[in-house]
Structure 1
Amino acid sequence: MALLAASTAPLLLVSCTQQDGAGTSDAKLAKTEIPAKVSPKTTLTIGAPEDRVLLQLSGAASKLPFKVKWANISGGPQCSEAFRAHSLDLCASAEVPSIHAHWTGLDTKLVAAETRKDPAKNPIYRLGIAPGAGIDSLKDLRGKRIAFSPGQAQGALVLRILHKAGLKKEDVKLVEMPSTGDVYSTALGEHQVDAAPLGAVNLKRYPAKYGKQGGKTIAHGLRDDASHLWAPTETVADPQKAAAVREFVKFWARAQFWAYEHPKEWVDGYAVKDQGLSRQDGEYLHKHNGEPEIPADWDAVIRRQQKTIDLIAKETGRKRFDAATLFDRRFEHVAADALKSSDSGEDSEGEKP
């Protein structure tokens, strides 16, 4: 499920001290057994605001078999800062933050993956075009000003769009700005930029507000639906916390489908009450989010992540690395298996209720 909340600032590409978990090699981590049962005394601090609401609305929050401290943060830059401060164990993010974290020395792992069932029909983003910008296709981006947020999904999408259009960074002017809220749509409407990736309710609001002046959106034709649960390596290297993460992944997977299958509850409880959106915007957003898909294995997910790494490395001068190192494959089948057990009536620990 696409999160409404975006992070507040681009990730600063600076050197930093690695997490304590950085001393755990991938090989050692892969051999570290996760306990079959999670201790009820274990506590995770989780930054996933939408999932917190979903678990409350569905009644699943009281069934979590461990203690949770909810942090009202999400997205790459905010989560990265909290990881560095050792104040967060798990967060929701897109694919790019973990890549930039690796380049800045922050040791993290992806523990769950989600895509959309029909990403071509329901992309997360479309390219917003400023009134009078003269952009009708991707090739018209040459020489234009494009909003750019390094370290976030929108920034990587811009690079992928340019690549598809046969353009290089030097062929356009990238204007760095955070993608928070309606910053991009306002920048388009005020002619600060000519193009910017728009998502969530801004896909509806921007053309409604600026359409008469010529503001519009165009399709980019790329898959942009990857989202993850993301943790510091020090968290998943701790057996008891790893067990808690495993259990949360199960609840998280079920929550994504609960939201899709309960549009009224999602709109009323999350979009309107929690996010302060109008009912009309909430209904639009729920339809836009589309049906979630939890991959049963991560091979295709890792291949896509590798392509993103290769492109960003090429365009920014960063060192290419193996995408597989970002994934803790001990968790690979947890989400999909949880959905199967849910269908069969089993609880989160594989027992009949």
Structure 2
Amino acid sequence: MFSSANRLLKSQVLPKVLFFKNIFGIIWIIAGCGNSQASESADQKNTTINIGIQQDVGPLLLAKEKKLFEKAFQKDHVQVKWTEFQSGPPQIEAISSNHLDFAGVGNSPVISAQAADIGFKEISNTRLGLKSDAILVPKGSSIKTLKDLKGKKIAVAKGSSGFNLLNLALQKAGLKDSDVQIIQLQPDEAQSAFNAKKVDAWSIWEPFISYETLKHNARILTTEKQLNSFSPSFMLVRSQFAEEHPDLTVKFLKVYEQARLWEKQHFNEAVAIYAKAKNLDKKVVASALKNNPSTNLPISSKIIHAQQETADFQYKKHIIQKKIDTSKVVDNQYINQALSNKK
């Protein structure tokens, strides 16, 4: 704006009165713009991006450990706040109460959230989820098939992707909910119960799967792949935040992609970072990443179809109370912009 004013003054020969009239007008305009920019800057300084993270290993944790979001948003005078959660459903509650702006969650919490009319959008497919969840049984367990689950105690976090996997497994085995004892526990509680053999099986996700199979010789009874099902993961944004800050939403996905690519290009270093952050064996971390690799993609029609099948199944099982169209919460505009501008 200053250079435009100088060109105006230099390119025109003006009478003195007109010159001063224009110069005062230009000064007034510049002052006005300065006030507007100051106001925008003040608003931006009051913006905080609230990010939810689960006990997971992947690009979000890498970005947290390397402070990638903090560095990227510092230029916009935006603060970053992290909150750790045990599973997806509590993150959905935080989005609903406007305490969370971004969260990475599995397929089932997204469906429950949409059925509850919570304001969010799916803005990226962060995992395809063919082996991201599993039903585990302890070493030496007599449970050999899904039908053997009848009468057994099974730990699971209600409303999670593990909960959905368990329901699919029971259906395939011809079992009803009443044929088993479902013990609703968050992962930290469930892990203790599973290792103490207070439950007979555990429906859970990575990195817990790799930890239990490598460290305690637990056995995988089934996965999504064996049930011919997808359990995709998504990055969610609170709808109001995306509407008010579309540029920051795009930038968030660009930083996430930066972390994902760094993990891919520096796999061993990333494994070491995750292992230290979560106090896990490097072999466990590497196994979890290979079983459930990260993506950062537009949400495809195939994934939407898989979600619709899951939603229809959950409605039939009365897990959700109304039919939903899973395509309605998909918004690929932000990931398309983030990837198109990728350098």
TM bucket normalised to smaller: 0.7 to 0.9
Which residue of structure 1 lines up, in the alignment, with residue 324 of structure 2? 321
Contact kept in structure 2, 1:260 and 1:286, CA below 8 Å:
no
Q: Match of 2:170, SS?
A: helix
Give the CA deviation at 1:103.
3.3
Q: What root-mean-square deviation, in Å, do the aligned CA atoms of Structure 1 and Structure 2 show? A: 2.9
CA distance in 1, matches of 2:199, 2:118: 32
Matched, 1:260 2:260: no
CA distance in 2, matches of 1:82, 1:142: 35
CA deviation vs aligned residue, 1:297-344 (integer Å, no higher than 9, x gap): 521121111111111111125211111222224335345x34xx54xx
Output aligned runs, 1:138-287, within 5 Å: 138-178=146-186, 180-181=187-188, 183-207=189-213, 210-211=216-217, 215-220=218-223, 221-222=226-227, 223-238=229-244, 241-272=245-276, 274-287=277-290
Question: Structure 1 residues 175 and 195, CA, compared in 2 at 3 Å: closer, same or farther?
Answer: same
Contact kept in structure 2, 1:169 and 1:315, CA below 8 Å:
no
Which residue of structure 2 lines up, in the alignment, with residue 108 of structure 1? 120
Q: Quick one: which amino acid aligns to residue 257 of structure 1?
A: L
Contact kept in structure 1, 2:70 and 2:80, CA below 8 Å:
no
Contact kept in structure 2, 1:128 and 1:188, CA below 8 Å:
no
Higher radius of gyration, 1 or 2? 2
CA distance in 2, matches of 1:52, 1:210: 25
Give the CA deviation at 1:155.
0.8
Which residue of structure 1 lines up, in the alignment, with residue 33 of structure 2? none
Q: Match of 1:333, SS?
A: helix
Question: Structure 1 residues 280 and 332, CA, compared in 2 at 3 Å: closer, same or farther?
Answer: closer
Q: Quick one: which amino acid aligns to residue 194 of structure 2?
A: L
Which residue of structure 1 lines up, in the alignment, with residue 94 of structure 2? 82
Contact kept in structure 1, 2:153 and 2:200, CA below 8 Å:
yes
Output aligned runs, 1:28-39, within 5 Å: none
Question: Structure 1 residues 254 and 208, CA, compared in 2 at 3 Å: closer, same or farther?
Answer: closer
Q: Quick one: which amino acid aligns to residue 84 of structure 2?
A: I
Q: Quick one: which amino acid aligns to residue 63 of structure 1?
A: A
Question: Structure 1 residues 332 and 260, CA, compared in 2 at 3 Å: closer, same or farther?
Answer: closer
Question: Structure 1 residues 193 and 227, CA, compared in 2 at 3 Å: closer, same or farther?
Answer: same
Alignment coverage as a number of residue pairs: 289
Q: Match of 1:72, SS?
A: strand
Give the CA deviation at 1:167.
2.7
CA deviation vs aligned residue, 1:168-207 (integer Å, no higher than 9, x gap): 32332222212x23x3343233332222124334334434
In terms of mean alpha carbon deviation, does 53-62 or 104-113 score higher? 53-62
Question: Structure 1 residues 162 and 80, CA, compared in 2 at 3 Å: closer, same or farther?
Answer: same
Which residue of structure 2 lines up, in the alignment, with residue 71 of structure 1? 82
Which residue of structure 2 lines up, in the alignment, with residue 299 of structure 1? 301
Give the CA deviation at 1:244.
0.8
Which residue of structure 1 lines up, in the alignment, with residue 10 of structure 2? none
Contact kept in structure 2, 1:147 and 1:197, CA below 8 Å:
yes
CA distance in 1, matches of 2:67, 2:207: 24
Contact kept in structure 2, 1:97 and 1:151, CA below 8 Å:
yes
Contact kept in structure 2, 1:263 and 1:286, CA below 8 Å:
no
Question: Structure 1 residues 82 and 60, CA, compared in 2 at 3 Å: closer, same or farther?
Answer: closer
CA distance in 2, matches of 1:100, 1:282: 29
What TM-score do the two structures reach when normalised by structure 2?
0.73
Which 4+ stretches in 1 moved above 6 angstroms?
Answer: none
Q: Match of 1:158, SS?
A: helix
What TM-score do the two structures reach when normalised by structure 1?
0.71
Q: Match of 1:73, SS?
A: strand
Contact kept in structure 2, 1:58 and 1:258, CA below 8 Å:
no
In terms of mean alpha carbon deviation, does 315-324 or 199-208 score higher? 199-208
Q: Match of 1:316, SS?
A: coil
Q: Quick one: which amino acid aligns to residue 305 of structure 1?
A: Q
CA distance in 1, matches of 2:299, 2:136: 34
Contact kept in structure 1, 2:122 and 2:236, CA below 8 Å:
yes
More helix by share: 2
Contact kept in structure 2, 1:154 and 1:197, CA below 8 Å:
yes
Question: Structure 1 residues 209 and 314, CA, compared in 2 at 3 Å: closer, same or farther?
Answer: same
